[in-house]
Amino acid sequence: MHYIKVRSLDTNKIGVLEDCDEELKRNDVVVVESEEKGEDAVRVLGISKEDSPSGLRFKFLRKATPKDMEAISKNEEESRKAFKACKDKIREQGLDMHLLKAYIPLNSKKIFFYYTAEERVDFRKLVRELARIFRKRIEMRQVGVRDAVQILGWVGLCGDLPCCMRFMEKFDSISLKDIEEQNLPLSPSKFTGPCGRLVCCMSFEKDNYAVKRILPERGSEICLDRKEGKIVEVDPIRNTISIAFEDRVREFNLEEILPKGYERALQRCCGCSGCCAKAVNSPIGYEVTTSN
């Protein structure tokens, strides 16, 4: 089964187009219907074999006509005016919020204002004044800092657009444990994105380091060919493990240490954040026999 992936014009979120029998190509603009915005426009990204991880769906209505494109352009101009007016009102009322974007859907019935704030904001007076100015229904939407970067765009640590702006469909959880697991220096500031959170691209590497989850921690004692040793380092990228014995440190290929078929265990570990497979309680937590 194939899915048509599309990107919303306001938040840059990626979803799936439903009930579409027409042939579409990348960058086509199509008119859709969504529960919150009604009739609106989205941009086609292409065909995918994967469903939407975020669960975001849009009902296809038609390809955008010249009249639709004219309305989109007009709404963009009105959105810029609404953004400026809202920002001025926020300043006048001394509200502790950071306005990100104003957006008017294709049907022009509402104006959506996206913002970030540290605490809850009482914007009832703001909404009344904006509704009086624009004669439309006003929707205030508070978003998180990662969503803010996805909406505005930015420059990542790599010097390119952030992954959330380019292709990511959902945010994965990243923690300091991921820095340690990927053998990176424990300096969170070096791995912080423009949103102030740990960079999402570390989540792309998680599966490569899953083998560490079925091995004892570094420093654990193991018995290998009736010799006691201590794990010095596990390098999943090179597929090796270094073990210190009394006389020297030896490096082994993981296939020599792990049982046959361990890849199936890794597949399960990739979807699990626990460490149930680690043997960490016994003085000699792991016993292995090799053919060497």
Answer yes or no: do 48 and 88 share one domain. Answer: no
Residue 191 maps to a domain: no
Answer yes or no: do 42 and 82 share one domain. Answer: no
Residue 99 maps to a domain: yes
In single-letter form, the type of residue at position 282 comes to S
Whether the CB-CB separation of 130 and 172 falls below 8 Å is answered with: no
Residue 180 maps to a domain: no
Give the CATH number for residue 141.
3.30.300
Answer yes or no: do 51 and 98 share one domain. Answer: no
pLDDT, the chain, mean: 84
Answer yes or no: do 102 and 115 share one domain. Answer: yes
Answer yes or no: do 81 and 124 share one domain. Answer: yes
Give the end of a domain, one of 49, 64, 79: 64
Give the pTM.
0.74
pLDDT of residue 237: 83
Answer yes or no: do 223 and 276 share one domain. Answer: yes
Answer yes or no: do 77 and 56 share one domain. Answer: no
Q: How confident is the model at residue 258 (pLDDT cuts 50, 70, 90)?
A: confident
Whether the CB-CB separation of 93 and 126 falls below 8 Å is answered with: yes
Whether the CB-CB separation of 146 and 164 falls below 8 Å is answered with: yes
Q: With 0-12 CB in 10 A as exposed, 13-18 as middle and 19+ as buried, what is 203?
A: middle
Answer yes or no: do 33 and 77 share one domain. Answer: no
pLDDT of residue 66: 95
Query: Three-class SS of residue 262?
Result: helix
Answer yes or no: do 116 and 81 share one domain. Answer: yes
Residue 113 maps to a domain: yes
Residue 246 maps to a domain: yes
Buried b (16+ CB within 10 A) or exposed e, 230-248: ebeebebeeeebbbeeeee
Distance CA 103, CA 168 (A): 22
- Rg of the chain in Å (alpha carbons): 26
Answer yes or no: do 264 and 280 share one domain. Answer: yes
Give the end of a domain, one of 103, 128, 146: 146
Distance CA 250, CA 257 (A): 12
Residue 198 maps to a domain: no
Q: Which residues pair with 63 in a beta bridge?
A: 30
Q: Which residue has the higher pLDDT, 261 or 27?
A: 27
Residue 9 maps to a domain: yes
Nearest to 191 by CA among 207, 202, 203: 202
How many structural domains are present in the chain? 3
Residue 13 maps to a domain: yes
Domain membership of residue 78 as a residue range? 69-146
Answer yes or no: do 83 and 23 share one domain. Answer: no
In single-letter form, the type of residue at position 64 comes to A
Answer yes or no: do 109 and 136 share one domain. Answer: yes
Question: Mind listing the pLDDT tens digit for each residue in 167-208?
Answer: 888 888 888 888 877 878 878 778 888 888 888 888 888 777
